[in-house]
Amino acid sequence: NARWRDSKRPSTRCTGTEMKLDVDEARRRFANSRVARLASVSETGRPHIVPVVFVVIDQKIYTAVDAKPKATKALRRLANIRVNPLVSLLTERYADDDWDALWWARADGAARVLGPDEAEADVALEALIGRYSQYRERPPDGPVLAVAVQKWSGWSASQSP
């Protein structure tokens, strides 16, 4: 019902200058974000999404299983990636009081669980430790995930970042 939709709209409206982000801008906004949501899918097609901290190096995104308490070491995201490596990561800016400031950036790609002896894992861990001060005192002790980004995309409610 159009009247219902119109009556439920927020008082702060997008200006009509909404835009699809180009690849470089989507990558820039993604890389500058502090947290992302990692979406994976199980072998039965069940979706799974978790927040992660990350670092972007060239066309790869790295995240690691850290020492924060977890229910199990057999994490669903790791099992999912082993059977279906295709994942998406999403970052966003949400402002409840200013919908003109909304944006999101997404990276779609193929993930891989790196082995502990791989040099790529060491480079990723060093970059993660450099980016997140919490990791300087307590470095991640679990597996490192590498996502080879195949597509950057995004949207913004306005042209200003």
Give the end-to-end CA distance of the chain in Å, rounded to a whole number. 34
Give tens-digit pLDDT for 41-98: 999 999 999 999 999 999 999 999 987 777 766 799 999 999 999 999 999 988 888 8
Q: Is the pLDDT of residue 141 over 80?
A: yes
φ/ψ bin of 47: left (φ > 0), alpha (ψ from -120 to 50), beta (otherwise): beta
What tokens does 54 get?
A: 């990350």
Each residue's pLDDT tens digit, 100-132:
889 999 999 999 999 989 999 999 999 999 999
Retrieve residue 70's tokens: 């977890």
